[in-house]
Amino acid sequence: MFISFLVITLVFAVVNWWAAQTGNKPWEYAFKPLTMVALIAATLAITDPASSSAHGSGARIAMVIGLALSLLGDIALMLPGRYFIQGLAAFLLAHIAYIVALALFGLSWPGVALGVVFVVVAAGMIAPRIVRGARSEDPRMGAAVTVYLSVISLMVIAAFGTGSVWAIPGAVLFYASDGCIGWDKFVKELPYRHLLVMVTYHLGQIGLVLSLAL
């Protein structure tokens, strides 16, 4: 069942990528949430023995909570009107849930150190301009974006700490997706921004789930 739901997730994701890039709002509004619903179903269908252990079971629960909060964030960000802060809050809570899930895998200090190096370099390249742009729009927005970037950075560090060949690229892709959103919104419009954001976002989420299954 896990593989079946994962295939459905990928099909829904590809349809959403096409809809987002072509501006087909009805299809985007349908398939953006459907992709996450299918991925939640895939996560619940994981039968690997590791997910049945005490830590594995807790990690799966935390992962599902993170996915559900991401679904709420998706809905908030695509609704007409100014729901950016609400979406940001939902994703911030999602990253906290992912940190819990990844921590339950067990973290190694060398992996954590490597994650810190990655985040320092990556954040140093994009975070100052994103935060500055957000602050120029509204000081409260600047503060909210700073907190959010801090939390997602901790999620990436936790992913590196697991040493998982799925969690690390998943977290990095998620980081890239949010970086694209922040850059496009507060610094400069990106070409193919809708496609860039959604492809990295969905593949990032799938990578995090695969770290639980494989």
pLDDT attached to residue 49: 45
Closest CA to 12 of 201, 202, 168: 202
Q: 78-117, pLDDT tens digit by residue?
A: 887 678 889 999 999 999 999 999 999 999 999 999 999 9
Q: How far is CA 22 from the centre of its chain?
A: 23
82-91, 125-134, 196-205: segment of lowest average pLDDT: 82-91
More confident residue, 119 or 58: 119
Its pTM stands at 0.94
Query: What mean pLDDT do residues 53-61 have?
Result: 76
pLDDT for residue 51 is more than 90: no
Q: 130-157, pLDDT tens digit by residue?
A: 999 999 989 999 999 999 999 999 999 9
Q: What is the DSSP letter of 83?
A: -
Q: Which tokens is 186 given?
A: 């507060």
Q: How far apart are CA 161 and CA 169, in angstroms?
A: 12
In percent, the amount of the chain with pLDDT more than 90 equals: 87
Of all helices (H) and strands (E), which one includes residue 33?
Answer: helix 25-44
pLDDT attached to residue 21: 93
Closest CA to 119 of 99, 149, 88: 149
Closest CA to 199 of 18, 28, 74: 18
